[in-house]
Structure 1
């Protein structure tokens, strides 16, 4: 099977894979029932993995199809049309294990590990997050020390997708000096769970709210790995991590596209068939607005995919591409969750069921706005990055700067009224988040414009919705809201005392 798949042109391969997933999810199995259980059933998952979807992110020299961004996004999109959990499973493997290993790993280690993926349907994941240091990865306490012929790693990680399931892990740790202090830089190590000295135990399994098919938990690390299983950064481990995370964020649109398209297809079909007062639901003006909103999300996500294909391959160093990567990740995940909320609303009471596509989508898409950096943090970083560039260029007008900035020089003029204002003073953090939301939309609309020949009606729908969003966010910036919570709120706040 793997040799046949390697030889297929991608159009034939992805068409066959979509058909295969449709058959498994909707004909052979009742996935609506399966989706309410924890984990994918072994036989169910085996039928999917036997089609070798992860071969798209394995170099041809090791038996894969090559590390092609277009093919990786195509596989992620095909999977998310049927199951967001399946697509995230693939995304974890592709962006957080296989691609970093292909770029930074020892050749012999690559060959051994990649053959396990091709021949035995192995899986891999990434361990960064610790309980006390979520987004503060640079202060992680997992440590390592050199030992004879390798490294001893000790620590604890949590919220790793595929906990207890992955065969291989990329584990992050900081080197411990002779006095016990941890250096600032971070290193990455490959662990092989089949080797007893490298086995990582699951201390606790989390009862995650959604994404039932993916196990999460607390992992205890006390392993020894040979020295060749340490990744080799081009400069520092921190830059390696940024390169990897930015590449991963730029592949979120692959997961988002199939997911949003499924919600759009389901919602449009429902609104065409659902009769209210003798006419179909899609004749309602507010329904048209909501359907157009999902279509705008689909269009923006398509532009993101196009951008990622040209800019996120392993041959690129993405360590400095924070503005683009953060814009893509934050905006696409907001659009995913908003599309799910709209789909549930349009579905009526039936949507409020966990075994309904809309209900499940609301729950499954929500954590995407949190992991790999909460969206508020990423939007603030976008604003900070752009403000730094504006200061460097001695430009304080946002429109003037964005018209000259390479990521917005085509799109900025479409929104001149909404972004024509000065930024010549300090911003509060809440305003930085709002500004980041605006900038991300202008950046990502340029990705749409750069798809020459793309559906003009969808482009116009998207432009109108972005104008609406920018007007709203501009209003937030000008509202002067500096309200902070009072921690003594219970004083004089019981309404019963006032009637």
Structure 2
């Protein structure tokens, strides 16, 4: 097919899939509604359909973003990869929609017509057939993993280059020891990152950060996070998330005094901070949290437990989501944010006793990957927090859920960027190994199946990078809240797939701890769990948003 014909065909096919997707969305919205509004019970009864709808939305959005990014400056490789992903994503969406239409009692004639369309069949062959995979794989093998290149202005390009260089020269040489020996992120990484201003990327300039006053620079955050995550997810790539969530909470609801006091400190990375949301019996169900805050003279006493509080040992400041209203029926409206100050600890457990008798203790949770920052179980016993440390003061009581959510869009964008960084590291490792490793008398890269694997890995990474860049620009315009969840959903699952294939190409060496690709594999597995588990995002954020839009109630 001629290149222009190919692009026209893929756009036409994606548009036809979008039409069928919209029909399924409307039908599911009607099934899940009562009197024109979504019903929680009906939504729960349709979780399987809602989950499939969310994944179809993610694949369609990524395919559209990859094709839309093609232009005169696009390389031949990126064009090949965008078409490859669009076709394979289209095939997955087509299968999902056929089942959804069957379940919802919708006609499937249009979907059958697309499946049998001569143009679609020709596109599948030309973009994703064995010869196309081989050509794309050869190009990926020669690219050193430089795929999905974003169109950047000079400041963003310079920042990307600076942090990629730092990740390669400073982070990567320390990453293996931090992972293998289960160390805490050392000052040899933290101090240079402070000097580079990394903890102030989301802090407004007026408070000592680098975020433009009055608007966001989500694209910069994505670029920096991806670059650091390529060096190490746990030792560098995740350091920015916690200060961003707390910064956005303070910007959204903090008093002027709290903003003036804490934001410059966060920008300087002193103290480091952690976010305590999850509880042992409540994961992503934030509204059901129970850590109790009891009002006493001059402040609050905290009693209860938190878990999966990343970096809680090293951090000197914890943002703790606390139930300050004892009426459990209030749900999320009874939650507030309290700022807990504590000493910094380097070890895997700590106990902090206040002079007045309160205690905060923590124990690091052993994990298969994502070592370095450590996630902690925390126990609060009669722990005192002064009124000055309630975000928003008296007016902030009961608004903690909303202040927390203010930082979640950025957190999800960062997690998508982390996934892209880990994918890039894994793809580059796979490319190098496939050139170096000889089997049956020739390099792995000379085998068609190896090249097909590299092509698909490259297509996933390129598409996730293009989607992350496109959604970051939406976020910078004050939009893209649901799309941030979609890119997180897709990129994190893709990181599992790419790191799995990279490890597989390494064979037995990939399973050895001494090989960095084994670290990429176990690190990638956490990405679909934190910052909103995959299932919660798909059902409670993405599908719900899509169905509300379909009902006109968004």
Scaled to the shorter chain, the TM-score interval is: 0.5 to 0.7
Q: RMSD between aligned alpha carbons?
A: 3.1
Counterpart in 1 of 2:325?
A: 176
**2:165 maps to 1:19:** yes
**Corresponding residue for 1:492?**
none
TM superposition shift of 1:197? 7.7
2:195 matches 1:50: yes
For residue 228 of structure 1, report the CA deviation from its aligned partner: 5.6
State the alpha-carbon separation in 1 of the partners of residues 479 and 324 from structure 2.
24
Question: In the aligned structure 2, how far is the partner of 1:60 from the partner of 1:31?
Answer: 31
Please report how far the alpha carbon of residue 332 of structure 1 lies from its aligned counterpart in structure 2 after TM superposition.
1.1
5+ residue gaps, structure 2, are 1-153, 344-351
Question: For the Cα contact (< 8 Å) 2:193–2:199, is it kept in 1?
Answer: no
CA separation in 1, counterparts of 2:434 and 2:328?
Answer: 61
* CA 273–141 in structure 1, closer or farther in 2 if over 3 Å, else same: same
Aligned equivalent of 1:268: 431
Q: Which residue of 1 aligns with 2:247?
A: 98
TM-score (normalizing by structure 2)? 0.62
Q: CA deviation at 1:295?
A: 1.2
Using the TM superposition, give the Cα deviation of residue 283 of structure 1 relative to its aligned residue in structure 2, in angstroms.
2.6
Partner Cα distance (1:100, 1:288) in 2: 46
Closer, same or farther: CA 202–46 of 1 in aligned 2, 3 Å: farther
Contact 2:171 2:236 (C-alpha < 8 Å) held by counterparts: no
| Alpha-carbon displacement from aligned partner over 1:37-68 (angstroms, at most 9, x marks no partner) | 22123334334433331121221111111152
Match of 2:181 in 1: 37
Q: Which shows bigger deviation, 196-205 or 289-298?
A: 196-205
- Asked if structure 2 preserves the Cα contact closer than 8 Å seen for 1:164 and 1:202, the reply is no
Contact 2:409 2:484 in 1 (8 A): yes
User: Within 5 Å, which residues of 2 pair with 1:82-231?
Assistant: 82-119=231-268, 121-177=270-326, 183-184=330-331, 185=333, 186-193=335-342, 196=354, 201-221=360-380, 222-227=383-388, 229-231=390-392
Alpha carbons of structure 1 residues 307 and 100: separation in structure 2 relative to 1, 3 Å: farther
Residue 364 of structure 1: how far off its partner (Å)? 0.9
The 2-side partners of 1:256 and 1:50 are apart by 25
Which residue matches 1:491? Answer: none
Q: Is contact 1:104-1:233 (8 Å) kept?
A: yes
Deviation per residue, 1:12-33 (Å, 9 max, x gap): 444333323322235xx55423
Alpha-carbon distance, 1:161 to partner = 0.4
Q: Relative to 1, partners in 2 of residues 1:150 and 1:316: Cα closer, same or farther, differing over 3 Å?
A: farther
- Structure with more relative contact order (C-alpha pairs < 8 Å, separation 6 or more): 2
CA distance in 2, matches of 1:369, 1:328: 11
In 1: Cα distance, 2:399 partner to 2:240 partner: 24
Q: Which runs of 5+ in 1 are unaligned?
A: 1-7, 394-404, 406-499
Aligned residue in 1 for 2:209: 64
The offset of 1:159, in angstroms, is: 0.7
